[in-house]
Amino acid sequence: SQTIHQWPATLVQPVGSPLSLECTVEGTSNPNLYWYRQAAGRGLQLLFYSVGIGQISSEVPQNLSASRPQDRQFILSSKKLLLSDSGFYLCAWSPLNGATNEKLFFGSGTQLSVL
Amino acid sequence: ELKVEQNPLFLSMQEGKNYTIYCNYSTTSDRLYWYRQDPGKSLESLFVLLSNGAVKQEGRLMASLDTKARLSTLHITAAVHDLSATYFCAGDIIQGAQKLVFGQGTRLTINP
């Protein structure tokens, strides 16, 4: 069966420091990978998605970047964090050519606090 | 551009009562999803609705889809405290990848 791992679970970082969040998927090949962010008390916003190694699409302009160095690895980064980067970050995956009833499967999330 | 709106955003109800959460979406969506989120936790998939008139039920929760009205509902029957959570609906757009557009979420509190 497929599993998705995301770490760390919580992170407190000072403004201006770098960020690296990692997500890996097991038990599947060629997944679509996604990074979502949830601000406190709000819905989820799609930040990035990837359909293959090295292929990154950005949904909103921001202080963050994403990379996919391996098929099942997705990394969210920042060179200098802003206060507004605080939030709950969720990695997700879906089958590349899934059946019509496929859904996104979410990781456990990273709560990022920028102080 | 697909937009998804839920109402109500906050709902406080008594155990044993019935209630409905509404989800409207602005343009054609291939599928409609319902997720549950407990505080500080990830999202748990509840339902995927594929076509007009689709109805799915799991325990005290039932979801339906009316594509002509661009409306999905999540109905809660005889609520119990364990159903307290935030519920999200989402539509999706297939553009290179399956991209979900989420509603704002409905925070449901069920009181004994």
Across the interface, whether the CB atoms of A100 and B50 are under 8 A apart is answered yes
- Among B48, B101, B105, whose Cβ lies nearest the Cβ of A103? B48
Give pLDDT tens digits for A90-101: 999 988 765 545
CA distance B37 to B88: 8
Across the interface, whether the CB atoms of B97 and A94 are under 8 A apart is answered yes
Give pLDDT tens digits for B12-59: 999 999 999 999 999 877 789 999 999 888 899 999 998 888 899 999
Output the CA torsion A99→A102→A104→A105 (10° steps): -110
On whether any CB of chain B is under 8 Å from the CB of A108, the answer is yes
Across the interface, whether the CB atoms of B105 and A43 are under 8 A apart is answered yes
Range among A2-11, A70-79, B85-94 with highest mean pLDDT value: A70-79
CA distance A2 to A28: 6
- Go through A21-30 and write b for each residue having 16 or more CB atoms within 10 A of its CB, e for each that does not: bebbbeebee
A103 contacts in chain B (CB < 8 Å): 31, 33, 45, 48
**B102 to each of A42, A80, B68, B79, how far by Cα in Å?**
10, 28, 19, 24
B102 contacts in chain A (CB < 8 Å): 43-45
With CA atoms as reference, the chain A residue closest to B30 would be: A100
- The single-letter code of the amino acid at B105 is G
- Nearest CA of chain A to the CA of B80: how many Å? 23
Give pLDDT tens digits for A30-68: 899 999 999 877 789 999 999 999 999 998 878 899 999
- Nearest CA of chain A to the CA of B48: how many Å? 6
Report the SS3 class of residue B7. strand
- Nearest CA of chain B to the CA of A22: how many Å? 16
Task: Calculate the average pLDDT of chain B.
Answer: 91
On whether any CB of chain B is under 8 Å from the CB of A54, the answer is no
Give B111's pLDDT tier (boundaries 50, 70, 90).
Answer: very high
